[in-house]
Amino acid sequence: MIQLFFSATQYAAATVTAALRAGQFGPRAAHRRILVVSNTAPVPEVGTPLDRMAGFEKLRPEFDEVRSWNEFISPHHPAGWSPRAQDTRLWEKAVRLAWDLGDEPVEIACESIQANPSRAVADIFADSPVHVYADGLMSYGPTRNRIPLPLSSRIVRVLHLDLVPGLRPMLLSEYGVEPEPVPNEAITAVLAELGEDGADILAERLPADDPPTAVLLGQYLSAIDLITQDEEEHLHLRMLRAAARAGHRSVLFKPHPSAPAVYNRSLETAADELGVRLSVLSDPVLAETVFARLRPKLVIGCFSTGLMTAAAFYGIPVARVGTDLLLERITPYENSNRVPLTVIDAALPDAERDQVGEPLELAGLADRLAPLVRAVGYCMQARKHHRLRDETAAWLTAHLAEYPQYFKRRRLTSLRLPGGSPVRAQALRRNPTVRRVVRRVRAARS
């Protein structure tokens, strides 16, 4: 059996490696394993491919070969190219010939199955089983797009990180796909290996005698049009002030790799005014390396997955800033970031208002979050999760007053759920769907 593992980021490759070492893809001797790397950045030619990044040599022994999807489909872009339906068999023959796969059976492990290159590969190998893996909080939310039956019936499972222990992912659940967590000890061991090079960078950049006690995580939310650049810059300033409010005088800011340098300069000015020593880590070091090596007393962010890895994997206190703004701005309601945002807002203390500095209580957290996440997920994708309607209506009746920030009145109204506005007869008469139904009824009676 040939196993093709598709990864676009170092973190994704680490997740796959952890699953392999945990035995979740069977014995090594029985499989030929090929890691297929892709770069989905807007201009991949100027980026560093995954297999050339520092630390990749720690992952390489788990695979028999490494191939580049960008090189294979060049000059097409991996995020925008997929084969025409009538050409998939030709492309399968081309892949088998180029990578010397022969006629051996193939199974695929890939990330987001709704988007390319995962969708393209699944279409090319139209008879192969597919394993979907997710390395972030989005696995707890519903599937973004409809998956056609020929593909959904081939999906074996969803491998995910157990960031909220016991919380069941909604991803692909409407197709009966079962989730399977990657053991925490397996992923933390892989991240520790990857972090060995990053530890040297931290040692060079930060004072050994007085390391930062708080870490701020940047996300570059303006790049995905959730807020403006000015608002995101202000969000980082709020994080810094919250850290100072909590008593931290040595702070590390880890910006998003694509964030503009102006963010750093405005933070440095604010740090001087607050009497805080600020270090900015622009080097390509995993957030988990920072957590493991520095063991900060507090991590502050907006709704980064790194907040939950700090809490779940390393037991570090975490806090949020700005989720109220994002909950108000995020559109459309189906936006895949809504569930990660909801989880962080509901689970973590507010760094600007609450007492912070205590480890997150993970025991019982899934029981508290599960009904809320299912209700939000139903409102996002009601047609796919119609079985959750009665549960959602009952939960909203009992708890909407406690959690109004996660639901929009317009969405509740359109779904005829508790908390929505009354539907007026005049509005019903103008509704195109209602008018069509009325015409059909009248035609049937005549």
Whether residue 263 has pLDDT greater than 80:
no
Tokens at residue 408, please?
Answer: 């929009």
227-241, 321-335, 421-435: the lowest-pLDDT one: 421-435
Query: With contact defined as beta carbons under 8 Å apart, do 53 and 22 qualify?
Result: no
Average pLDDT of span 64-73: 96
Instruction: Reduce the DSSP state of residue 158 to 3 states and report it.
Output: strand
Whether residue 224 has pLDDT greater than 90:
no
Query: pLDDT confidence of 163, banded at 50, 70, 90?
Result: very high
Tokens at residue 352, please?
Answer: 């600007």
52-56, 275-279, 328-332, 364-368: the lowest-pLDDT one: 52-56
Instruction: Reduce the DSSP state of residue 358 to 3 states and report it.
Output: coil
What percent of the chain has a predicted confidence (pLDDT) above 70?
Answer: 97
pLDDT in tens, 20-49: 999 999 999 999 999 999 988 778 887 778
Give the pLDDT confidence score for residue 196 in this predicted structure: 85
Count of C-beta atoms within a 10 Å radius of residue 307: 27
Q: Cis link prior to 117 (omega < 30° from 0)? A: yes
Give the pLDDT confidence score for residue 262 in this predicted structure: 67
Task: Give this prediction's pTM.
Answer: 0.90
pLDDT in tens, 334-368: 999 999 999 999 999 999 999 999 999 999 999 99
pLDDT in tens, 426-439: 566 677 877 888 88
Q: Cis link prior to 332 (omega < 30° from 0)? A: yes
- Residues 351, 327, 134: CA angle, nearest 5 degrees: 90
> Cα–Cα distance between 262 and 229 in angstroms, integer?
10
Give the pLDDT confidence score for residue 201 in this predicted structure: 84
Average pLDDT of span 315-330: 96
Largest CA distance in the chain: 88
Written as one string, the DSSP assignment of 254-295 is E--TTS-THHHHHHHHHHHHHT-EEEE--SS--HHHHHHHH-
Query: With contact defined as beta carbons under 8 Å apart, do 101 and 66 qualify?
Result: no
Give the pLDDT confidence score for residue 445 in this predicted structure: 80
C-alpha closest to that of 43 among 11, 75, 1: 75
Query: pLDDT confidence of 261, banded at 50, 70, 90?
Result: low
